[in-house]
Amino acid sequence: MSARSAVVTGAGSGIGRAVARAMLQAGFRVALAGRREEALRETAAGSPDALVVPTDVTVEAEVDALFDRVVREWGRVDVLFNNAGAFGPAVSAADIALEDWEQTFAVNVTGALLCARGAMRAMRAQSPQGGRIINNGSISAHVPRPLSVAYSVSKHAITGLTKSIDLDGRPYRISCGQIDIGNTRTEIMDELGVGSGALQPDGSRKIEPTFDVEAAARTVLLMADLPPEANIAALTITASGMPFGGRG
């Protein structure tokens, strides 16, 4: 049986890089998508099963070209890890600029939709039909951090997108699930100050626990590796002891 093919967006760093490498090690052929070609090549590390495709997920033509390239090279798309995202500005809902709001949504929501659309079209047309889409949500899809309105609302939208994809894909054996990750050690955790003191709802700052990104990658691989007749619709993985249930 031919190796399964996957597309990972935001593959140049963080969770996307870890997931792409885990999938390559598990025997997938993986198309690495992201804006920075050099970073994608670092993720690929010379693997013959990695396909580097520089892509801005907010540009429709580039996303369409990404999936056309994968189908041309490998004949099908079996898995999409819809991971590209932006945190957006750390401001109150009262102070956010419309431009910042729209840019966050362009990446986190419109970009995710464009990639899901490309994957679904390929999965619907291929033989045998079907495939799996995994959306990277966030625990902010459940409970926001302070001063994260654009990011938090966009991640709530991802939950709706996940459910809609899973429903609309049903006639074509396309399933969709969402993984919500909290405080895995990546660059964005440094931006939030999680390791040095993240802003809490009461105005204080607290050093929060984190966990290794490789554990998050293995969890995504678990979802990707399920047989077609099974799907994890929603999964939450967090650092043990982090203030998630206690937010608010």
Query: Rounded to whole angstroms, how far apart are CA atoms 222 and 224?
Result: 6
8 Å CB contact between 84 and 34: yes
CA 215 from centroid of its chain's CA atoms: 15
Query: Rounded to whole angstroms, how far apart are CA atoms 170 and 63?
Result: 23
Examine the residue annotation and report whether 172 is marked as an active-site residue of this protein.
no
Phi and psi torsions of 155, nearest 5°: -75, -30
For the record, the structure tokens of 163 come out as: 């459910």
DSSP state of 241: T
50, 87, 151, 178: the active-site residue: 151
8 Å CB contact between 97 and 89: yes
Q: Which amino acid is at 61?
A: A
Q: Which residues are catalytic?
A: 151
